Amino acid sequence: MGDQHVIALDLGGTKLAAGVLDREGGVIRRAQHTTDTSSEDALLAQIERSIDELLDEQVVALGVGIPSLIDQRAGRAGASVNVPLENVDLRDRLAERFGLPLALENDANAAALAEHRFGAGRGAEHMVLLTLGTGIGGGLVLNGELYRGAVGAAAELGHMVIDVDGPRCQGLCPGFGHLEALASGTAARRLAEEVAEAQPDGELARARASGGIVTGVLAAELASAGHGDALEVMERIGFHLGIGIASYVNIFNPELVVIGGGFAQAGDLLLDPARRVVAERALPLARDVVRIVPAELGPEAGLIGSGLVGFEAFDAAPVR
Ligand SMILES: [Zn+2]
């Protein structure tokens, strides 16, 4: 008998990554597709096809990471971000179709598991993960285990209020002044627009005038090159990030706060202002032990974490 493998999926709004993984997080084979967002049926069919094309007799379970609120009682994808999945009993549907143990997991939770096992969080007992992108995803590892809450909907850390009078949050969220609305890549883009407007001689204004969309990532690149107006954007966003992290530090007393996601490539330009706020505003003891560090696994974290929950499902399944 050969080694046991799982098929892992990491579904995002633009791409669907699939892979065959071993227990050490190694990716043995992989495939990538442009996410079919035309309809729910089309997307479900694409998910099934992407599993089908990787299946072989060594595959013992499936792990599926989705950008959704998940009700783990029913294995149901509730509301989703950027993909047409709403109130779908995805776990039953795929388990029936493939006859294998299967776990569904929120994508940021999966990334937290992966960083904890194989990345920046190795050895930590208590870890907070934030993924900065269009939105802000969150994951919590407490007492060495992923914390899922009562039904699986926990750790939506991007949806903590940091300004009660702040702007409306994004997408499906009915809240105002959430961290996601003030420290995501989207928030950086909005702020960069404002700064470009206010400083017409600055580098952000120049980038915009030459036809570029001033994204959060572009603002980060201009800040890395030392341009003052872009640095101002990173400083402000990093401040908001630090306000949020200071509360997580007070509540959870983690050893580590791990920052990943596309916009996190801003690195210390973003993390240093956040570290300063935490040092100034979080409670003693907790603030003295926490370290705020970049993630290590990059865009692979979601896929690797989905593989880990696939193995969890296999290990928990009754012996057949
Ligand atoms: Zn929100």
pLDDT tens-digit series, residues 19-68: 999 999 999 999 999 999 999 999 999 999 999 999 999 999 999 999 99
Whether 56 and 72 share a structural domain: yes
Q: Which two tokens stand for residue 119?
A: 């990345």
CB atoms within 10 A of CB 274: 25
Whether 74 and 222 share a structural domain: no
Q: What CATH number does the domain containing 183 carry?
A: 3.30.420.40
Whether 31 and 157 share a structural domain: no
Whether 80 and 211 share a structural domain: no
Q: What is the pLDDT of residue 265?
A: 87
Confidence of residue 82 (pLDDT cuts 50, 70, 90): confident
Q: How far is the CA of 190 from the centre of ligand 1 (A)?
A: 16
Q: How far is the CA of 175 from the centre of ligand 1 (A)?
A: 5
Query: Of 123-127, 175-179, 212-216, where does mean pLDDT reach its minimum?
Result: 212-216
**Please, which residues have CB less than 5 A from ligand 1, an ion?**
159, 169, 173, 175, 178
Q: Tell me whether residue 116 is in a domain.
A: no
pLDDT in tens, 259-294: 999 899 899 999 999 999 999 999 999 999 999 999
Whether 268 and 202 share a structural domain: yes
Q: How far is the CA of 62 from the centre of ligand 1 (A)?
A: 30
Residue 172 has pLDDT above 90, yes or no: no
Interval 140-155 mean pLDDT: 97
Q: What is the DSSP letter of 87?
A: S
Residue 319 has pLDDT above 80, yes or no: no
Type of residue found at 78: G
Whether 305 and 217 share a structural domain: no
Phi, psi angle pair for 88, to nearest 5°: -110, 130
Whether 279 and 190 share a structural domain: yes
Q: Tell me whether residue 27 is in a domain.
A: yes
Domain that holds residue 74: 5-111+300-316
pTM, 2 dp: 0.95
Q: Report how many domains make up the chain.
A: 2
Whether 44 and 140 share a structural domain: no
- Residues 157 and 138: their CA atoms lie apart, in Å, by 5
Q: How far is the CA of 134 from the centre of ligand 1 (A)?
A: 12
- Residues 60 and 3: their CA atoms lie apart, in Å, by 10
Whether 271 and 144 share a structural domain: yes
Q: Look at residue 134 and give its three-state secondary structure.
A: coil
Whether 86 and 154 share a structural domain: no
Residue 1 has pLDDT above 60, yes or no: no
Q: Tell me whether residue 312 is in a domain.
A: yes
Q: How far is the CA of 162 from the centre of ligand 1 (A)?
A: 10
Mean pLDDT of the chain: 95
Q: Tell me whether residue 117 is in a domain.
A: no
